Structure 1
């Protein structure tokens, strides 16, 4: 059996709820090292998973037994840490958003290609069963021409999720770069690209800080997106949905409507043009509210690619294209103009 020796850089909530437990549950993985600038946090995770701990990621990357790393740091460190890891000969699974600029994404891709290592971006929404089935339904032609869509991702904010609560780096522009759009919106740009199987080419957006005091990043955004074939729809990302998380998507087509993660009992509802309704219970979508109980499938997909030496399902180019939609939205909001996506 092939064993992939893994290190996790950053021991905050996403590492604690997703990466570390999902690595531990994978029979092809041995967690050998963890790193965090907060020593007690690194120590606690090291003891829990019987691993070495570091407080400097450079020291972890110098550990030659490590095959791959997860980069679970604040957003501004995604690119430099990932590039350093790739240059150190490690495969990399990087949390989203991939980076803070188009130039950084290209540098990450270049480092992966130069070193012959795999780079995967942790966009988990592609692996949600209702999303996979919706893509298949559209690809089959049964929905006919797609006219429009609306998608939303909102919750009460990272203070209820981050290990640092209201003092989290999520609210600091110098570390986060972007707020709800980077935390939630980029999930949805990646999802729309995946489900519709085409690129988003133009964006008009309002991106603002409305709900969070002492925050220097956005917490609410509404965007109008246009795809290459002319499909037009909306995307909302918010940290101000105070009562219940919304992670729903609706696709409007020639022959019916697909409702994803909208009904509390059925993860996919297909409303056909002729009045028939199909309901599918495909399991709950991964959520901050589930306390990490539902797997993200990201770790298993990453490790599968390493064990079998196959392409990762969400490579650097995919991460770059999804981030570029967000960057275009920020530009649109700043200029008050419709912006073309790079």
Structure 2
């Protein structure tokens, strides 16, 4: 293996271009050496239409970052692991929970890293929030996660297809933070999913959850918000309110601002990925994906107005 971890990005859409490419460039010990996408290229890098072509004809790589839609990610991860490559899975790690367990076994057999990368957990205020809440009794949590799908997912029709998660694509970011900062597991109690009459995945959702002690957690996800996005997790505790705002970039303890930073999440994510590969370890936390799966299983569906791009 070379001194740098040689990475190929598979699926070169907006998230790959906007986040993965600059994060790899800023990470010591990582190098982007190829791009895999049926259409889109990156200037100055070898380009391949599919992963098999890269593995057959391309430069030597050590790892792949899979940034394709979740419906096809399992097959790509299996191919990469069979070729003994480390695998970083963009969130969500797959279209179904059952897809991931065989990949964990394949990574172990190959002696390679499998990393389910919940990028929102690397926002600068998330770990401080976890440490703050560890010493408190949480009595109630409210999640408000709303954005304009036309702004944040333009032209991404797959997101409303079966397996595309709909509003849970951003909503799972909130759930990944929730399952990181709370000291106890949470469970879905009730869900209501608003599905456009011409689509297969929800455009909005309301969830009722609770932790092991019965503390209520309410989540509101909506793709129909216009103007600035709202990404907030509000906790009521025995020592006063704690608010995680701006998608995990600001932390408030009552009226005091504890953290307020605009640091990017992905460089920290890639530093951790490099550490995992160096140590020969995997990190595949399925808790956020399980909550989404439970929401679909328990959710009552109501059809709403058709959604047109």
Q: TM-score scaled to structure 2, two decimals? A: 0.89
Where 1:198 maps in the other structure, the secondary structure is coil
Does residue 87 of the first structure (1) align with residue 78 of the second (2)?
Answer: no
CA contact 1:9–1:35 (8 Å) conserved in 2: yes
Does residue 298 of the first structure (1) align with residue 298 of the second (2)?
Answer: no
Where 1:204 maps in the other structure, the secondary structure is strand
Unaligned runs of at least 5 residues, structure 1: 272-276, 287-293, 337-342
Alignment counterpart, residue 179 of structure 1, candidates 151, 154, 166: 166
Taking the TM superposition and a 5 Å limit, the aligned residue runs for 1:177-216 are 177-181=164-168, 183-210=169-196, 214-216=198-200
CA contact 1:256–1:270 (8 Å) conserved in 2: yes
CA contact 1:14–1:72 (8 Å) conserved in 2: yes
Take 2:101 and 2:171, find their aligned partners in 1: how far apart are those partners? 21
Take 1:29 and 1:2, find their aligned partners in 2: how far apart are those partners? 9
Does residue 154 of the first structure (1) align with residue 146 of the second (2)?
Answer: yes
Unaligned runs of at least 5 residues, structure 2: 303-309
Aligned length, in residue pairs: 300
CA contact 2:192–2:301 (8 Å) conserved in 1: no
Where 1:302 maps in the other structure, the secondary structure is helix
CA contact 1:71–1:94 (8 Å) conserved in 2: yes
Alignment counterpart, residue 269 of structure 1, candidates 252, 261, 281: 252
Q: Tell me what 2:307 maps to.
A: none
Cα 1:325–1:253 change in 2 (3 A) is same
CA contact 1:15–1:72 (8 Å) conserved in 2: yes
Greater fraction of residues in helix: 1
CA contact 2:122–2:266 (8 Å) conserved in 1: no
Take 1:258 and 1:245, find their aligned partners in 2: how far apart are those partners? 20
CA apart distance, 1:85: 1.0
Cα 1:242–1:285 change in 2 (3 A) is farther
Q: Tell me what 1:309 maps to.
A: 279
Q: Tell me what 2:209 maps to.
A: 225
CA apart distance, 1:278: 1.9
Take 1:32 and 1:285, find their aligned partners in 2: how far apart are those partners? 25
CA contact 1:193–1:322 (8 Å) conserved in 2: yes
Q: Please give the root-mean-square deviation of Cα atoms over the aligned residues, in Å.
A: 2.4
Cα 1:263–1:304 change in 2 (3 A) is closer
CA apart distance, 1:310: 6.0
Alignment counterpart, residue 52 of structure 2, candidates 52, 58, 69: 58
